Structure 1
Amino acid sequence: MTDLHAPLSSAVATASPASAGRWRYVRWAAWPLYFFLLARWTDRNGLPYTEDLVFLWLIGALLAAAVHGGEGWRRTLLVLRDWLPVMAVVWTYGLLRGYGAHTPWAPHLRPQLAVDTALGFGRTWTVRLQDALYTPGTAHWYDYAAVTVYMSHFFVMFVLLAVLWRRHRTGFRRLLACYLAVTYAGFLTYVLYPAVPPWMAAERGAIAPVTRIVGDVLAQAELPRAASVFEDGSRFANDVAAMPSLHAAYPMLIALFFWPMAGRRLRVLLAAYPIAMAFTLVYGAEHFVIDILIGWVYAFVIVRVVQHLLDHRARRRAGAATP
């Protein structure tokens, strides 16, 4: 009997020629089938851009890679063992985030508005940037660039986790721990301090009228977007989850995490990503500047604390293993 945990290539080698041929076809078909299904799904439902949908397709890509590489059933099952719990945690956050919008206390606006007005010398930077750069009904190249940066929030972290999962399992666990810690610290803050974003402040008349540029540009481009089960205009949406900005926190987390091991060119990209995201969020009326600064502080503190705790744990294990 063939060992279940043996590489698929070994199993094929001991199988009959007909069976080996069928397995070869399965391996060759793994990626074409994956991309066919993804293209078909996107054509019918729109771009998958929310965490739950990105996770599903990412797990599918890892499974396709395992099958195509002939890595065996054990490696294929490891994809499900390691990623389904992560997906469940992210889904749980999506549920909790929505419930966080229904706190008994009203969302806050005055503190962040006062800080941003001071930083903007009398006007918020969202109003200043849109007055200078945005043309209603006409999307410029930098508007499309801002949309691209904004949408990267929904997949960059997961792609990096997937790469680390395949190449550096310790790095995967460390980045995942930092990501989950920042995410749930953000959720706790949303519950304790629901905060009004600039676009909602404009709707309330607290600042001059502004436009949610990302949604406006996507509408102009007529790009359909697949809605998450948690954010489909339902009770799971949370419009006052603005402080801290996780859109800003994740790029800073990525920069801090990879900085020690990065070369000069990569460090340029690592530094540029949080800055580009910060500009996008303020310009697009999604966050005040103070939301972004607090998000950066969360990322810095949590990366330092998590790395310290994991390093301490590794030293203790190494000491226990030493005779």
Structure 2
Amino acid sequence: MKKSNRSSVLNIEDTGFERFSVKNILGLVIFTPLFFFWYIKFIGLLPEHIMLYVLFVSTYFGNKFSREIILSFAIYVVYWAIYDSFRVFPNYEFNTVHIHQPYELDKALFGVNYQGQLLTLSEYFAKVHIPLFDVLAGIFYINWVPIPIALSLYFYLKKRPLFYSFAYCFVFVNFLGWIVYYAYPAAPPWYVAEHGFALDLHTQGSEAGLRYFDQILDVNLFKGMYVRNSNVFAAMPSLHSAFPLITLYYGLKAKLGWFNIFFVIFCLGIWGAAVYTSHHYVIDVLCGISVASLGIFLFDKFLDKKVQVMFAK
């Protein structure tokens, strides 16, 4: 029995995993009250926050493999936590909200004539939406995060260096987009359709054209999702449009073959759905594509090697 216990101890030492070290317990004791204080006091504690806490703690203290995964994917947790906290520091408190300007610019550049009236493409699609396209738009839009996360998981299991590049590039592009959010707060097309050009800072998020997906399938998916949107006036750039481009770039970099055709379709579907559902103007989509392109270029040139060194084993 003693020999077995000794082997067990040696095995723990060999794997480098220590579940309840003083450092880990101290970290948990400090992290827990800070986590709940922040969400209860400033944001409002929601079920997903509790789920996030339980997931993080259980995987961290689970075993070596689960700890390695949660620490590797922690960058996404940090990304989500920062975005969720934007409600504490809304961008409209830092700069003027632009409602009329993006509307008029988009209509001037990409407007269409419909029954003798010049409309933005979002306004046009709101009038002539087709059930098949409503469903397809919902399918594309609901996957704007799951597909990049799925690619992350594949890279983590099969191409570990690309995992770190993809994950940190993904977050880096988001930071660039957030800078634009605060520099140029902008209302989405659905805001103009529902509220006109008057500024209402108490406006809740809207599922806009995605409501037709909910109605057709008799679900409450998008309404429940967008009512919790942490920043209504963050249409420029469309990060929904940036994510699939990052996915396509790393798919090409990984030489994933036929999967890259799927990623091309994913890009086109998200870009079209963003405009079709009145969540973004065409100029928002183009700005999102530009931010993604710039972010990928800067990350590859200045940051990727540093990330690889940081996680080299």
Give, in whole Å, the separation in 2 of the partners of 1:169 and 1:298: 25
RMSD, matched Cα: 3.4
- Please give the residue correspondences for 1:60-99 in structure 2 after superposition, counting only pairs within 5 Å: 73-84=63-74, 86-96=76-86, 99=89
Residue 262 of structure 1 is aligned with which of 241, 255, 258? 255
- Quick one: which amino acid aligns to residue 188 of structure 1? I
Moved over 6 A (4+): 314-317
- Please give the residue correspondences for 1:183-262 in structure 2 after superposition, counting only pairs within 5 Å: 183-205=174-196, 212-225=208-221, 233=228, 237-262=230-255
- Quick one: which amino acid aligns to residue 133 of structure 1? H
- The answer to whether the 8 A contact 1:6-1:74 is kept is no
Matched, 1:4 2:24: no
Distance 1:225 1:270, change over 3 A: closer
Residue 130 of structure 1 is aligned with which of 93, 114, 126? 126
Residue 164 of structure 1 is aligned with which of 155, 177, 180? 155
- Consecutive unaligned residues of structure 2, counting only runs of 5 or more, are 1-5, 16-47, 113-117, 198-205
Give, in whole Å, the separation in 1 of the partners of 2:13 and 2:184: 50
- Quick one: which amino acid aligns to residue 295 of structure 2? I
- The answer to whether the 8 A contact 1:126-1:285 is kept is yes
Q: Which residue of 2 aligns with 1:293?
A: 286
Deviation, structure 1 residue 194 = 0.7
TM-score calculated relative to the size of structure 1: 0.67
Q: Percent identity?
A: 19
Give, in whole Å, the separation in 1 of the partners of 2:88 and 2:237: 16
- The answer to whether the 8 A contact 2:156-2:163 is kept is yes
Deviation, structure 1 residue 155 = 1.7
- Consecutive unaligned residues of structure 1, counting only runs of 5 or more, are 8-51, 68-72, 135-139, 318-323
Give, in whole Å, the separation in 1 of the partners of 2:309 and 2:135: 49
Give, in whole Å, the separation in 2 of the partners of 1:169 and 1:160: 12
Matched, 1:275 2:268: yes
Distance 1:159 1:311, change over 3 A: closer
- Quick one: which amino acid aligns to residue 128 of structure 1? Y
Give, in whole Å, the separation in 2 of the partners of 1:129 and 1:189: 27
- The answer to whether the 8 A contact 2:164-2:307 is kept is no
Q: Which residue of 2 aligns with 1:178?
A: 169
Deviation, structure 1 residue 56 = 4.9
- The answer to whether the 8 A contact 1:100-1:187 is kept is no
Structure 1 SS opposite 2:233: coil
Q: Which residue of 2 aligns with 1:33?
A: none
Distance 1:123 1:314, change over 3 A: closer
